[in-house]
Amino acid sequence: MASGEFDLIARYFRGLGACRDDVLLGVGDDAALVLPAPGEAVVLCVDTLVADVHFPLDAPAASVGHKVLAVNLSDLAAMGAQPAWALLSLTLPETNDAWLAEFARGFSALACDAGVALVGGDLTRGALCATVQVGGTVPPEQALRRDGARVGDAVYVTGTLGDAASGLALWQGGEPRRDADAVLIERLHRPTPRVNFGTALRGIATAAIDISDGLAADLGHILQASNVGASLDVDAVPQSAALQARFPAEQRLRWALAGGDDYELCVIAPPEQEAALEAAAQAENLRLTRIGVIEREPGLRLQRADGSVVTLERSGWQHF
């Protein structure tokens, strides 16, 4: 059945996500009206996912819907913000009701879980891509920023790293697939934004960033903004059992350091806050690993336990 833009919006996107009292006007008008709580700063972020750049063209539609929201929620988590509202701009080469229904299902499931309401957006024709802008709130004095790292702080990461990059290699056919590979492919298609842990970092961490382009590259942004350096014990960088069972050590290490797309958090905090950090991670049943220290000397130093130095051909993903 042929459908126009507004019919599709009404069918698949009106009322999508959580029902929130702070949404005065949502999908269906020229713009949305939202009402932040008194004393809260509004945190905004936006990401565009382009087919065959940020997700495989043949990725499941529900996974695309999940991921385009997840990558934005991960940014809010890194700021210590509580998610609230989302805007979605979706570009489609043609109308496909089955694809749209699955995309909306994947988006809505994560939105409801995170307490996010879809309040507006746009739908147009063109090469397949999806852009989401998410808004959240945080007390201004508790927002986590990249410029807060201090000499002597410890460097931590959540979860495991390198899974998504290995999942992409498997999905694209660079390696023959096995039944157990589904774990790694799922990490590629359906990253888990660490929203609750992000809000728990308020008053504990000095800086944080989500690991989207690769640990080395993203930690580098904190180091530059904070005018500090860091040393990492690369042997301590956590890798999943699925990754370790599937690929050789050197390949795993490069994916863990520079593969990107894992959307875990890199957290900087004073050593005396380690117990509080571990308690927050345990409350979320989340793995947390200390991997390094912030130093005065600029730059990022990657070292093994035996003192040898690891060099990378590239530190992470770059668009240009």
pLDDT digits (tens, 9 = 90+) for 117-139: 999 999 999 999 999 999 999 99
What is the sign of the dihedral through the CA atoms of 253, 257, 260 and 261? positive
Number of domains within the chain: 2
Q: Provide the pLDDT for residue 315.
A: 66
CATH classification at residue 269: 3.90.650.10
Residue 169, judged by CB atoms within 10 A of its CB (0-12, 13-18, 19+), counts as buried
Mark whether 110 and 247 lie in a shared domain: no
Q: Provide the pLDDT for residue 250.
A: 94
Q: What is the mean pLDDT of the chain?
A: 93
Position 69 pLDDT exceeds 60:
yes
Contact 87, 128 (CB under 8 A): no
End-of-domain residue from the set 94, 119, 141: 141
312 belongs to a structural domain: no
Mark whether 93 and 121 lie in a shared domain: yes
| Torsion of Cα atoms, 296 then 300 then 304 then 307, to 10° | -50
**Which tokens is 200 given?**
């728990």
Mark whether 288 and 155 lie in a shared domain: yes
Q: Provide the pLDDT for residue 175.
A: 67
Give the DSSP H or E segment for 120.
strand 117-125
Over residues 176-231, the pLDDT tens digits come to 677 779 999 999 999 999 999 999 999 999 999 999 999 999 999 999 999 999 99
Q: Radius of gyration of the chain from Cα atoms?
A: 20
| Closest listed residue to residue 267, CA positions, set 148, 165, 91, 172 | 148
Mark whether 135 and 263 lie in a shared domain: no
How far is the C-alpha of 194 from the C-alpha of 120, rounded, in Å?
A: 24
End-of-domain residue from the set 114, 141, 168: 141
Q: Provide the pLDDT for residue 176.
A: 65
Amino acid 169 reads: A
Kind of pairing between the strands at 117-125 and 82-92: parallel
CATH classification at residue 48: 3.30.1330.10
137 belongs to a structural domain: yes
Q: Provide the pLDDT for residue 2.
A: 47
**Number of neighbours of residue 36 by Cβ within 10 angstroms:** 15
How far is the C-alpha of 298 from the C-alpha of 280, rounded, in Å?
A: 30
End-of-domain residue from the set 141, 158, 190: 141
Q: Provide the pLDDT for residue 62.
A: 97
Over residues 72-120, the pLDDT tens digits come to 999 999 999 999 999 999 999 998 899 999 999 999 999 999 999 999 9
Contact 56, 175 (CB under 8 A): no
Mark whether 87 and 209 lie in a shared domain: no
116 belongs to a structural domain: yes
| pTM reported for the whole predicted model | 0.92
Residue ranges making up the domain that contains 271: 145-303
| Torsion of Cα atoms, 191 then 13 then 18 then 141, to 10° | 70
Over residues 29-38, the pLDDT tens digits come to 889 899 999 9
Contact 261, 171 (CB under 8 A): no
| Closest listed residue to residue 118, CA positions, set 302, 149, 109, 317 | 109
Contact 261, 165 (CB under 8 A): yes
